[in-house]
């Protein structure tokens, strides 16, 4: 191998180097040696021209003379460190001066290294190679950071779009003889709770609420699938107006081993306005609360969570909704909350809040605000509360 080729091979990373020196002989000598090492070069006769070069073309490294007319090396270094695009370009200060104070001043001002004149070719190659390697590493880190930031922004946008879709599947507030109000707040960007109120027949109103284990994208995907299934009543040959049969079908169709070990609790009811009968069944879910004439009723039946045991059985019960009755259906995230004093809320504490807050548009949000205030920050679980008022 020829000596020049060998020098280029040993030079390490190659770059575009700006040589700044007011002495033409020094500039020519440096540019020839750098070219033999495989680098491309450009030059400037003083600090002012150096800044013009930096503005005109991409530079990987600056070899900067200390003492120059118009603008010296320290002036150039100061301008580079104040410039957003130039501050990370490595700078090797070069000078015939041997004063250690100048070396310290140069490094303190931001110089990457210092070389004395006359130049030692081996030392020059080593210092240039080391600076270019550091810059290449910094460039890769910066590119990785930019890519990560773009990826995070893209993911955030996709999660926001997913959250909007989940929200679009949730029911619209009902008005008229049956009025509804609800609040859903996820503990993360998107959550695993879902609920609905849908007339599958003119005189049959389906009311449901479920809580998928876990949080995030997986739980939200399962929740959305469940809402679409229940809203459409598309359960094959199963009667969507038979609560226990619906839960049994869901338990068979959504075994946890086929859904990333996720399971869910559920409350499912069918209300008949003409008779005021409410048929319901539950699967490991908190009891719904019905207030009205005759006091309070807890609406819950025995039943295991859905997805855990394919042979699980579900029972059904009925009750009469009195005129002026109020039904509250909720997830455990509405009451399993640690207060700021370290104590735990429970269903009784939530019930007290429900009784103290007259049902009306926005009342469920008031309940959420009080629960969140008791916790002191964002809740650890999804909060879902569905309230229905019956004439």
pLDDT tens digit string along 382-391?
899 999 999 9
Sheet containing 16-20: order of strands:
40-44, 16-20, 61-65, 91-95, 113-116
> How far is the C-alpha of 118 from the C-alpha of 69, rounded, in Å?
20
Give the residue-averaged pLDDT of 305-312.
Answer: 94
Token pair of 337, please? 């909350």
Q: What is the pTM of this model?
A: 0.68
CB-neighbour burial class of residue 12 (10 A; exposed 0-12, middle 13-18, buried 19+): middle
* pLDDT for 192: 85
CB-neighbour burial class of residue 362 (10 A; exposed 0-12, middle 13-18, buried 19+): exposed
* Pairing mode of beta strands 91-95, 113-116: parallel
φ, ψ of residue 356 to 5 degrees: the values are: -85, -5
Residue 45, sorted as left (phi over 0), alpha (psi -120 to 50) or beta, turns out to be: alpha
What's the pLDDT tens digit per position in 154-169? 877 776 777 677 777 8
Looking at every residue in the chain, the average pLDDT score rounds to: 89
Domain with CATH 3.60.40.10 in the chain: 170-390
Domain with CATH 3.40.50.2300 in the chain: 3-142
Helix ranges, the chain (H): 3-10, 24-36, 47-56, 73-81, 100-108, 121-169, 217-232, 243-253, 347-356, 363-375
Q: Which one, of 290, 268, 291, 262, lies nearest residue 280 by Cα?
A: 268
**At which residue do the structure tokens 């390697």 appear?**
133
SS3 at position 29: helix
Helix ranges, 186-242 (H): 217-232
The arrangement of secondary structure in 3-142, i.e. its CATH architecture, is 3-Layer(aba) Sandwich (3.40)
Q: What is the CATH number of domain 170-390?
A: 3.60.40.10
* Pairing mode of beta strands 193-201, 264-272: unpaired
What is the CB neighbour count within 10 angstroms for residue 348? Answer: 8
* pLDDT for 153: 84
Query: Is 9's pLDDT higher than 80?
Result: no
């Amino acid at each position: 191998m020829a000596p020049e080729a060998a020098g280029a091979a040993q030079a390490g990373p190659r770059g575009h180097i700006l040589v700044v020196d007011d002495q033409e002989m020094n500039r020519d000598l440096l540019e020839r040696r750098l070219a033999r090492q495989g680098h491309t070069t450009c030059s400037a006769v003083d600090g002012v021209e150096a800044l013009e070069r930096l503005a005109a073309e991409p530079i990987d490294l600056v070899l900067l003379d200390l003492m120059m007319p118009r603008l010296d090396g320290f002036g150039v270094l100061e301008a580079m460190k104040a410039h957003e695009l130039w501050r990370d370009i490595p700078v090797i200060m070069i000078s015939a001066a041997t004063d250690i104070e100048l070396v310290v001043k140069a490094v303190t001002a931001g110089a990457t290294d210092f070389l004395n004149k006359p130049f030692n070719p081996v030392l020059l190659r080593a210092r240039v190679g080391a600076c270019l390697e550091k810059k290449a590493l910094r460039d890769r880190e910066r590119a990785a950071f930019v890519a990560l930031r773009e990826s995070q922004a893209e993911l955030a946008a996709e999660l926001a779009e997913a959250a909007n879709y989940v929200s679009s599947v949730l029911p619209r507030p009902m008005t008229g003889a049956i009025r509804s109000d609800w609040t859903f707040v996820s503990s993360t960007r998107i959550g695993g709770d879902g609920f609905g109120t849908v007339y599958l027949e003119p005189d049959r109103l389906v009311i449901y609420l479920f809580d998928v284990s876990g949080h995030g994208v997986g739980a939200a995907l399962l929740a959305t699938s469940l809402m679409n299934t229940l809203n459409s009543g598309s359960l094959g040959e199963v009667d969507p107006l038979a609560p226990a049969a619906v839960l049994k079908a869901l338990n068979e169709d959504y075994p946890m081993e086929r859904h990333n070990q996720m399971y869910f609790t559920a409350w499912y009811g069918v209300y008949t306005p003409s008779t005021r009968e409410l048929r319901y069944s539950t699967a490991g879910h908190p009891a719904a609360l019905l207030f009205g004439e005759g006091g309070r009723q807890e609406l819950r039946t025995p039943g295991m969570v859905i997805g855990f045991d394919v042979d699980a059985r579900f029972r059904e019960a009925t009750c009469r909704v009195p005129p002026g009755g109020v039904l509250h259906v909720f997830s455990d995230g509405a009451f399993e909350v640690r207060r700021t004093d370290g104590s735990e809320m429970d269903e009784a504490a939530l019930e007290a809040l429900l009784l103290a807050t007259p049902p009306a548009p926005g009342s469920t949000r008031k309940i959420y605000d009080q629960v969140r205030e008791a916790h002191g920050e964002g809740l650890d679980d999804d909060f879902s509360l569905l309230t229905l008022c019956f004439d």
